[in-house]
Amino acid sequence: MSDFVLITGGARSGKSRFAELLAAHPGLPVTYIATAQVYDEEMALRVKKHQDQRPAHWGLVEEPLALSSVLERHAQNKGVLLVDCVTLWLTNLLLAHYPAEDHLTEQEYTRALHRLEQKILEQVRIVARIARDITPQVIMVTNEVGDGIVPDNPLSRIYRDLAGRANQILGQSAQQVYSVVAGYPTEIKAAGQALLDSLRREDA
């Protein structure tokens, strides 16, 4: 069974740097699974910065969509798989299958968005199960995209909700969940689970 770790936080919180330190700590082979797709110069610079800060001897797999397949291919590896990041993967899935609004009524469009969200969340559940069950340690980096204003368009709103629900699914499967704020990580699952358990006992 994998020691599955989920690391979340806001933009520029230091979560990727913490994930890289955590991945390197055991001294085992590390495979970096990059989900980013480069569409413009700004994204290319972001990718280059990540490449420069991680060790050159780490393995690299670039996969924007089929994350479950990558995890399964490495299921027997004795090492660490570092996925950075979950929310880019969700973005890729959402944009790859986003329904065109042309020729759809508002009701049809809403139903299509709901079906798409459910399909993506099912992929998240599959990834969560694989990450929990395979041999290598799996570390995933994600983002808290809902800590801001309510987006003003349907695509952004569904993405915000999708990311929040996906994080909950992954957090439930992970052995450890860290929140990174201002560069400092805090393990939140153990304390949070203890609180939930105590509240449920009181309600019983």
- Residues classed as catalytic: 50
Q: In the structure encoding, which two tokens stand for residue 200, read together?
A: 């449920």
Distance of CA 158 to the CA centre of its chain: 16
Which conformational region is residue 200 in: left (phi greater than 0), alpha (psi within -120 to 50 degrees), or beta?
A: alpha
Point out the annotated binding site for GTP. Answer: 9-16, 34-36, 62, 84
User: Euclidean distance between the first and final Cα of the chain, in Å?
Assistant: 32
Rounded-to-integer distance, Cα 160 and Cα 52, Å: 30
Phi–psi pair at 139, nearest 5 degrees: -120, 125
Residue among 58, 104, 115, 110 at smallest CA distance from 81: 58
Rounded-to-integer distance, Cα 16 and Cα 12, Å: 9
Point out the annotated binding site. Answer: 9-16, 34-36, 62, 84
Query: Using an 8 Å Cβ cutoff, are 80 and 135 in contact?
Result: no
DSSP symbol at 203: H
Rounded-to-integer distance, Cα 46 and Cα 69, Å: 25
